[in-house]
Structure 1
């Protein structure tokens, strides 16, 4: 079984359990006052629970398609533990800017694996900027999707009109790209070379 599928199964299992047991969801969700009193695990555990089936399905389907690719790319270089830590770090690091912003907001809560999934997705886009992604069954070049996704996330984060943590999407994307460049700095000139030769 691939690591990607294993992570998906764990996430689905924990999410289902949390829906059945509200006290479990309350114990795992990111909530600033709880983190402030020492419940630091919430910076990680929130990534294994989701708001509803659509939220869970979107994150896990996205992770399934791009996680398997990045698993094949990364495991030979950083090992099994390295890939798992890359994903888990995506959950935590994507939440840190949100934590700083909302650390005194007792009414704020956040959940979902979007930060880690964004990290995996954008690590893939760095490698294959002109590959085609199916977005609502419409084929879109990965780099075009990335620009639109980041632009929308910045706009939506400033507008703050929904219950989605768009800041985590941005921070997760930054972690995915930053990690890949730390691992192999030569990816940056390769990326720009790929951008200039879409048919290459």
Structure 2
């Protein structure tokens, strides 16, 4: 655990420890943390992988084939783990005690790619039987993560959630610019029907 956890203080003083950007994503604080992340990953991973590989689940969007889609999916997930921790590194590089772990940045990247591909799909939170359209959930998630990241009131790296989500949106739009137009079209239709 100690040799893989993200420790910005140590990393800033020994760049050979930059491997922690990726290894920390394979550690979790406890079973609840791991299970929560993997349920979220499983819930959106199939949709995102299907779209990236063959366009399944996203009208008007072509995929990249099996190998091309899988490589892009890995870049989305693993890149999300790394990129989401870069702001954490800079924020805490002088804090001797700070440590962070978990795959939340990568999971948030995949989750938000799923929201771009299917913004009207309902997202259900644990123990709440009412689904929220993905684009509304995404907006609320970003606000909450940003606020909590500034507040620093708990032991959760909310910055990883926030920056992982932004990375997921940005990379998805780089891979598939048409998905942004389809996202806007679906939300516009939703708003017209519900006004």
Q: TM-score range by the shorter chain?
A: 0.7 to 0.9
Distance 1:184 1:150 in 2: 22
Once the two structures are TM-superposed, the CA of residue 53 in structure 1 deviates from its matched residue by: 1.1
1:60 aligns with 2:50: no
Question: What residue ranges of structure 1 are gaps of 5+ in the alignment?
Answer: 1-24
Once the two structures are overlaid, the 10-residue window that deviates more, 185-194 or 75-84, is 75-84
- For 1:33, the equivalent position in structure 2 comes to 9
Once the two structures are TM-superposed, the CA of residue 189 in structure 1 deviates from its matched residue by: 2.2
Once the two structures are TM-superposed, the CA of residue 143 in structure 1 deviates from its matched residue by: 1.3
Instruction: Give the 3 Å change call, closer, same or farther, for CA 81–185 of structure 1 in structure 2.
Output: closer
Q: Are the counterparts in 1 of residues 49 and 69 from structure 2 also a CA contact under 8 Å?
A: no
Once the two structures are TM-superposed, the CA of residue 50 in structure 1 deviates from its matched residue by: 0.4
Distance 2:133 2:143 in 1: 16
- For 1:168, the equivalent position in structure 2 comes to 160
TM-score under structure 2 length normalisation? 0.85
CA deviation vs aligned residue, 1:88-109 (integer Å, no higher than 9, x gap): 1110001011111111111110
1:126 aligns with 2:116: yes
Question: What residue ranges of structure 2 are gaps of 5+ in the alignment?
Answer: 55-63
- For 1:151, the equivalent position in structure 2 comes to 143
Distance 1:108 1:183 in 2: 34
Once the two structures are TM-superposed, the CA of residue 167 in structure 1 deviates from its matched residue by: 0.6
- For 1:46, the equivalent position in structure 2 comes to 24
Once the two structures are overlaid, the 10-residue window that deviates more, 182-191 or 50-59, is 182-191
Q: Secondary structure at the match of 1:196?
A: helix
TM-score under structure 1 length normalisation? 0.83
CA deviation vs aligned residue, 1:41-66 (integer Å, no higher than 9, x gap): 10110000001111111000000110
- For 2:85, the equivalent position in structure 1 comes to 95
Instruction: Give the 3 Å change call, closer, same or farther, for CA 97–183 of structure 1 in structure 2.
Output: same
Q: Alignment length, in residue pairs?
A: 176
CA deviation vs aligned residue, 1:48-85 (integer Å, no higher than 9, x gap): 00011111110000001101111111134124333223
- Following superposition, which runs of at least 4 residues in structure 1 exceed 3 angstroms of deviation? none
CA deviation vs aligned residue, 1:100-133 (integer Å, no higher than 9, x gap): 1111111110000000000000000011111111
